[in-house]
Chains A and B, each alone.
Chain A
């Protein structure tokens, strides 16, 4: 791919309107497939009536294809206007548009058949020969199928929303659940530093404030990777005060594009897990490694921590909730194009995230080369 993918815009699925955007390639493809299948079904249905199957199939499919594409085109153009209407009139208008298009198309076909017969002397099998028997059933079918389709779009929109809401609720539950212990421990550390090392105490309060600003903000927010890395570093600084030499974090993220857009709080929960389940149970401490690199157009982040000898099971259990949460949010941001893999290797617990590279959308950003050159220092 030579151009950076656009930042996810508030488009088809994001604006809360239940009609899908029919100008998108997947929607058009779906309509073509549905028209072909429906044509096949209708042609089969008429076999018993003694029709010629292949001609029946050809003319039904062609008719449905044109009807479908015309309806999609009209709804696509009308979509911004429909989106502003109340639900009832949106449904009424959409249905009206579909029925109207089918009625006009049927009538046009009938007239074309008449013209053909007049021009060449013999009526073609392709065209309908009776006006009322052709147009009226088509209008009724369009009404029923259109109403079913609208109902389907509405229900699937509701379903998608409830899934999204559930994901958000889980994020909040996770945030609420991991915070208290960390918060009170940090407060205790700061209380200890206040008199002996006031400068470090001040720094710790600033770090804590920054961290909470991110965790308390909208968990669906997308931020530049640079900021996400900074949040993880702030988190590490606070833990470092507490754990001292027991905690060592090795960063290897120089190859990451700083301005890539990522869902917030991807890396920090992984680091928190690695420290909480990997380092804290070890009396002598250990090393967490954070690595990041670009694999073509995919960003890969990897966090690894030592597996405590007998606590491997507990580590995995404790990790699962945060990992599920991260996986879910990645899926929400990059449907079908992201993943979270977990593995144990050489006594280390290793979590790997991968998701597509999406650049911060700024018009003055120029070409990809200049963006790629903008690396995290």
Chain B
């Protein structure tokens, strides 16, 4: 078995990442996976955010993902994984979660109940499949956890940056990409403004066909000398235009949050 820090795995082996916040649970899964012929464990992570960075760095084929974890839970992590160019297959693990179990069944997503049985683990791995974005969104909705993400994941090749939603000032769409402006700078993300609006309303308000602003960072809505409405932000001297078509509704929503 391969015990080196940089896992070099035979080409025929499935590369697996174990994600669980409890060390004994990770140990047991690792031992069981290592006993399987065609699987190699390439790493472990203790929460969702860690799982994403490990995935970006290690590019595993399979992720065993605990549902309940502090910080970012398993379902949210899976949704971020779904935005990867080549997302790994995901198998959820949980000790007991009525809603999540019903959701896994409904969405035909692979899952295992802890304590995990050897045969079930082997079977789940044989049937493990990539899960698609919309499927995961429905899953999150049904499971009543990870419904809206707490963080947005921006990727630049191997580089991965997690930005708390609470730090995002606005999203703007330019041609193919969406730019996310946050307190730490700006990043490109591969998501549609429409989906972001659905997920994060009413904290984010659509002020223009191509911009979505965080209500909590709006300092003022002003009218320029030319009669154009603009949004001014807190802690940032940028402004965004409010389109005529969105003006009334946007103002109402911004005021509702004030």
Contact = CB atoms under 8 A, between A and B. Distances in A.
A192 B31 CA distance: 9
B114 A242 contact: no
B147 to A, nearest CB: 13
Contacts of A187: 95, 114-115
B24 A188 contact: yes
Interface size range on A against B: 20 to 34
- Of B22, B46, B49, B97, most buried by chain A (CB within 10 Å of CB) is B22
B193 to A, nearest CB: 25
B186 interface: no
Contacts of B23: 244
Given A243-B22, A281-B70, A188 B114 contact: yes
Contact of A196 (B21, B27, B68, B166): B27
B95 A185 contact: yes
Interface of B: 21-25, 27-28, 31, 46-47, 49, 68, 70-71, 95-97, 113-116, 166
B114 A184 contact: yes
Interface in A149-190: 180-181, 183-185, 187-190
Contacts of B24: 188-189, 192-193, 241-242
Given A187-B115, A188-B114, A191-B28, A181 B95 contact: yes
A282 to B, nearest CB: 6
Nearest to A185: B95
Most buried by A among B21, B47, B71: B21
A283 interface: yes
Contacts of A244: 22-23
Contacts of A281: 70-71
Contact of A188 (B28, B46, B71, B97): B28
Interface string A62-105: 00000000000000000000000000000000000000000000
A195 to B, nearest CB: 7
A278 to B, nearest CB: 11
A280 interface: yes
20 contacts: A180-B96, A185-B22, A185-B95, A187-B95, A188-B24, A188-B28, A188-B95, A188-B114, A188-B115, A189-B22, A191-B28, A192-B24, A192-B25, A192-B27, A195-B31, A242-B25, A243-B22, A280-B68, A283-B46, A283-B70
